Structure 1
Amino acid sequence: MSLYHYTDVSAALSILEKRQIWMTDVRFLNDSKEFYDGVEFVQSAIRLLEDLKRSGDFMSIASDYVVDIISKSFERELDAMPKFVCSFSQKGDLLSQWRSYGNYAVEFDRSKLSESLGLVDCIYCEKSKEAEAKRRLAENLIYLSRSFSGGSSLLGPETFEVQMDLVAACLSFKNKHFLEESEVRSVFSDDSYSDQIQYRAKGGMLVPYVAHDFQIECVNAIHIGPMANQKLAEKSMLMFLEKLSAKSVIDGGDQINIAVVCSEIPYRAL
């Protein structure tokens, strides 16, 4: 199965040369409700925990912790441990993606890419998000209650694991209006003071991101969207890939076999 990362020519060049994917702080993505859409569903599921409060048992203690601590800490979690996301689409040659992100798309082999990056399919359906939030919450409550019954404290690593898992659930939920994107994403978390976090200028502000390495064998093709001089763009990309392959062989590596595919969409920006 293939995944497509739509982008512009500068980013496509950087991805191929450096063999790195940039992952952007989730708070700076194009969906203004990014992350918070998921938080609403998880917090809604948490509010149902009031029915589980039975004074004295470990499930009650776990429920109290989730209601009183975790449900109120999502914003603080993003400040202390920013979450970085790289987005891919399951759909190739999609006009809305060309219009939104640029004239190039890097096609990855999903199974190979998953060896370097953890991948998760985004959920758009409201009922599916509700069901997944309840499922994740139930699993984590059982895990917490068993941990507490085994002697773990509220400050133990288990509570942190639960918090991280619920945050991860929030990051897999997307607003239903973005359904067409059919997004698969990779998520990375790091301390806000980490040296891995870099900044780029965009839209009049600094956008935090981290660079993540991948193997060039993960790339199947470079797609060129509907644009003026598309054939010329195809020629120059082929020249670049030939040079990239030759350098790999000279350096003792294998040939790089990446196809170049032109969009068949008859669209041009006027």
Structure 2
Amino acid sequence: MARLFYCVVCPACLAFNLGKLKQFLGVLGLLDQISHYCSANVFLSLIQRKEFWLTSLTSSNDRAEGRWMLDNWLDGLTDEHDMTAERVGAIRGNAQAALNENYALGICFSEESDLLSQWRAYSDDATGFSVTFNREMLQRRYARADFLASPALIQIAYGAAHSPQVARADQWLRLAFFDDAADCQIDNNVTQFLEAEFSSDLSQRRRLAAALLFSIKSPAFCEEKEWRILHYSSLNALRNVEFREHKTVISPYVRLPFEREAIIGVTLGPCNDTPEDVVEALLKANGVHAWVRKSAASYVSR
């Protein structure tokens, strides 16, 4: 019977033991983990290059990306007694301008590593892979709260009516986009946060408020349990920006390196015919210690 652990003295065995322990804890679900669903081509790139591509979030499968919270917020404003259609229209124009002037670039993850809806939507109709990462490692590297300055890992909130996230976003949006923001009734704790995080410059406040729209999604997507690395910036301010063709449209992206130790597992999609031993050999050749398994979902690709 093969041994799970070896000696704890020599560096080679110590590294091997740590890798085995990480695999063991990951399989048991005892590590905080998030998974990225992708095609076979993207999977190869992740393993070989150890880098994420932060791409345009408005090109995702969710056509309301970044706009769901804004539309719901504006709809709510029309019910307030002092809100005329003209005033709501002006606020909409200011918010839309902030969205048009900047790009939301990101990469998305799920707390679930084997979810059929994710396989169908993001993994070439279940023929790809999900790559599972140690969330704590990614959070340490991308922990900034200000995703205007650099990419940050954030958890997505699903905007159920009257939820704390939606209520907080409502106050942020009022302070940024109301023409009489100084007169808004804003909670003192939120005001202190805004004074610390928001620039006194109006355009900067509007840019951060617009970025926050990409942290809240419709409750219809709650099954995804999504996290994302988000970077919100004007095109001119993006460092090391590159461009790609996607669905006949040219769009920007940036590369973001990660440590190979952040990868803790790989799941093959329900319709992925790659032998597991081939995936294991690929991981070993690229210095990645991770568990490999086949999806438990029953699905036949169209």
Deviation at 1:75, TM superposition (A): 2.7
Match of 1:78 in 2: 99
1:142 corresponds to which letter in structure 2? T
Task: Give the counterpart of 1:23 among 54, 61, 67.
Answer: 54
Deviations 1:157-176 (A, max 9, x none): 45345323322321111122
Q: Is the 8 A contact 1:20 1:214 kept in 2?
A: yes
1:11 corresponds to which letter in structure 2? V
1:87 corresponds to which letter in structure 2? C
CA distance, structure 2, for counterparts of residue 145 and residue 91 of structure 1 = 33
CA distance, structure 2, for counterparts of residue 4 and residue 162 of structure 1 = 32
The 5 A counterparts of 1:147-166 are 157-166=200-209
Does the C-alpha gap of structure 1 residues 165 and 70 become closer, same or farther in structure 2, counting only changes over 3 Å?
A: farther
Q: Larger deviation: 90-99 or 67-76?
A: 67-76
The 5 A counterparts of 1:1-270 are 1-43=32-74, 72-102=93-123, 103-117=128-142, 118-127=152-161, 128=163, 129-137=165-173, 138=186, 142-143=191-192, 157-193=200-236, 194=238, 196-227=240-271, 229-230=273-274, 232=275, 234-245=276-287, 256-270=288-302
Q: Which runs of 5+ in 2 are unaligned?
A: 1-31, 83-87, 143-151, 174-185
Identical counterparts, % of pairs: 23
Q: Which runs of 5+ in 1 are unaligned?
A: 52-66, 148-155, 246-255
Does the C-alpha gap of structure 1 residues 167 and 45 become closer, same or farther in structure 2, counting only changes over 3 Å?
A: farther
Name the SS of the counterpart of 1:105 in structure 2.
strand
TM-score computed with the length of structure 2 as normaliser: 0.68
Q: Is the 8 A contact 1:46 1:71 kept in 2?
A: no
Does the C-alpha gap of structure 1 residues 227 and 135 become closer, same or farther in structure 2, counting only changes over 3 Å?
A: same
Q: Is the 8 A contact 2:61 2:121 kept in 1?
A: no
Does the C-alpha gap of structure 1 residues 158 and 226 become closer, same or farther in structure 2, counting only changes over 3 Å?
A: same
Q: Is the 8 A contact 2:156 2:225 kept in 1?
A: yes
Q: Is the 8 A contact 2:69 2:159 kept in 1?
A: no
Deviation at 1:196, TM superposition (A): 2.6
Name the SS of the counterpart of 1:242 in structure 2.
helix
1:243 corresponds to which letter in structure 2? A
Does the C-alpha gap of structure 1 residues 69 and 111 become closer, same or farther in structure 2, counting only changes over 3 Å?
A: farther
Deviation at 1:17, TM superposition (A): 1.5
Give the superposed CA RMSD: 3.2
Q: Is the 8 A contact 1:3 1:91 kept in 2?
A: yes
Deviations 1:120-168 (A, max 9, x none): 2222233125323235453697359979xxxxxxxx6453453233223
Deviation at 1:91, TM superposition (A): 1.1
TM-score computed with the length of structure 1 as normaliser: 0.75
CA distance, structure 2, for counterparts of residue 120 and residue 203 of structure 1 = 27
